[in-house]
Amino acid sequence: MLKVPQHQVAGHEAGIGKLGPLVDESGRFYKPLQGDERGASEVAFYTSLSTNSGIPEHIQRFFSTFYGTQLVEASDGSGLLPHLVLEDLALGRVNPSIMDIKIGSRTWAPEAPEKYIQKCLKKDRESSSLSLGFRISGLQIYRSKELGFWKPGKKAAQKLSREEVKLVLRRFVSSNTLNDLDSRPDCAFASTVYGGSTGILSQLLELKAWFEDQTIFHLYSCSILVIFEKELALKGKNPGAQIKLIDFAHVYEGRGVIDHNFLGGLCSLIKFISEILTAPNECGIEVSAKADQKNLTADNGVVADHKNLTDSDNGVVAIQKNLTTSDNGVVADQKNLTVSDNGVLADQKNLTASDDNCVVADQNGVS
């Protein structure tokens, strides 16, 4: 019996009259083949993956297992349609927190049709892709049994500003996401999820080493899915932090050139994650000591240029007022935060409710 997946955060969602992916109980994920050349391209990619010996074994684990294609009853009721059959990445996971991060400042290949290029370029410029080298295409963060997930709308997620992306990457590994309006992401799970020899950063670095060398594929509009289970982390168990590469409708031959577009974006993501690990209590806001950082600091010491952060229309909101900066530009008033040996905040009770709020509000609630 096929059903709509519970934990999809980006891409087309299945529903009444809507064509989207399905899952079965044995752990297979059915992705409807896009009718145009994108579908064919993705099938070709997965087929070549399973036959191409150019991909080393330790890298193959970053791709979903591929079980071929199959005609199944489409989710929109339109009858039998060909689907890609893949491994269901959420299988066996209870309440996984998931981010879908589209890698690359450019989501289009030089060889793509002009109309498609213009469409993608517009999206890249309107999202954080161009400035950060990646954009968050969708996410869900588990909060608690009662509150369920924090899951901003897809459009909202894609329009996160640079500072909001920083906050979301911290919030993703934080324990204090219950009462969102008065909390700073504490990054309580940063060291267990992002850090460690099997954590997200370590996996990203492995992927990076491969992308510095591989000239087989150029992956445009491809995502890295980041998954872990907060409940396991809370119990002190291995949270099952894992990355997977997904979405290969726009794969091109590398023809002897590395995928510098993917690699650049990947390095940018790595830098963001590294910074969380080295400074988990900085709340995602970094104000450099550079003298000419003219757009960042207003006269009264308040961090300016955050106009998007107070815009509550898009379902992902941050209210960020009166953030005072110290002389060296680093967010001040963190003195009450006690930090444990492993860099994780130990005692959240000492967090004073100061004027220095740094908040991601939750306007969406459970989705």
Q: Which residues of the chain form contacts with its own copies (CB under 8 A)?
A: 44, 48, 51-52, 54, 105-106, 110, 125, 130-133, 162, 166, 212-213, 215-216, 253-258, 260-261, 263-265, 267-268, 270-271, 286, 288-293, 295-296
For the CB of residue 22, give the shortest distance to its own copies in the complex, in Å: 29
Q: Which of 219, 232 has the CB closer to its own copies?
A: 219
Q: Which of 52, 70 has the CB closer to its own copies?
A: 52
Q: Which residues make Cβ contacts (< 8 Å) with residue 21, sequence separation at least 6?
A: 5, 8, 11, 12, 14, 29, 30, 31, 32, 75, 83
For the CB of residue 161, give the shortest distance to its own copies in the complex, in Å: 11
For the CB of residue 258, give the shortest distance to its own copies in the complex, in Å: 5
Q: Tell me the sheet residues that pair with 186.
A: none
For the CB of residue 133, give the shortest distance to its own copies in the complex, in Å: 4
Sign of the alpha-carbon dihedral angle for 268, 152, 185, 299: positive
For the CB of residue 351, give the shortest distance to its own copies in the complex, in Å: 24
Q: Which of 2, 59 has the CB closer to its own copies?
A: 59
For the CB of residue 261, give the shortest distance to its own copies in the complex, in Å: 6
For the CB of residue 51, give the shortest distance to its own copies in the complex, in Å: 8
Q: Are 133 and 268 in contact (CB under 8 A)?
A: yes
For the CB of residue 201, give the shortest distance to its own copies in the complex, in Å: 13
Helix axes 200-211, 260-278, angle to 10 degrees: 150
Nearest to 107 by CA among 128, 91, 79, 92: 128
Q: Which of 308, 363 has the CB closer to its own copies?
A: 308
Distances 126 to 121, 130, 272 between C-alpha atoms, Å: 9, 8, 20
Distance of CA 57 to the CA centre of its chain: 24
**CA–CA gap between residue 122 and residue 124 (Å, rounded):** 5
- Identity of residue 45: F
Q: Which of 215, 364 has the CB closer to its own copies?
A: 215
Q: Which of 213, 347 has the CB closer to its own copies?
A: 213
Tally the C-alpha atoms within 13 A of residue 146's C-alpha that lie toward its C-beta.
Answer: 3
Burial 211-245 (b: 16+ CB within 10 A, else e): beebebbbbbbbbbbbbbbbbbbeeeeebebbbbb
- CA angle at residue 128 from 124 to 132, to 5 degrees? 110
**CA–CA gap between residue 145 and residue 180 (Å, rounded):** 16
Q: Which of 150, 248 has the CB closer to its own copies?
A: 248
For the CB of residue 134, give the shortest distance to its own copies in the complex, in Å: 9
Q: At residue 66, what are phi and psi to the nearest 5 degrees?
A: -110, 130
Q: Which of 55, 319 has the CB closer to its own copies?
A: 55
Q: Which of 153, 254 has the CB closer to its own copies?
A: 254
Q: Are 267 and 224 in contact (CB under 8 A)?
A: no
Torsion, CA 292, CA 295, CA 297, CA 298, rounded to 10: 120
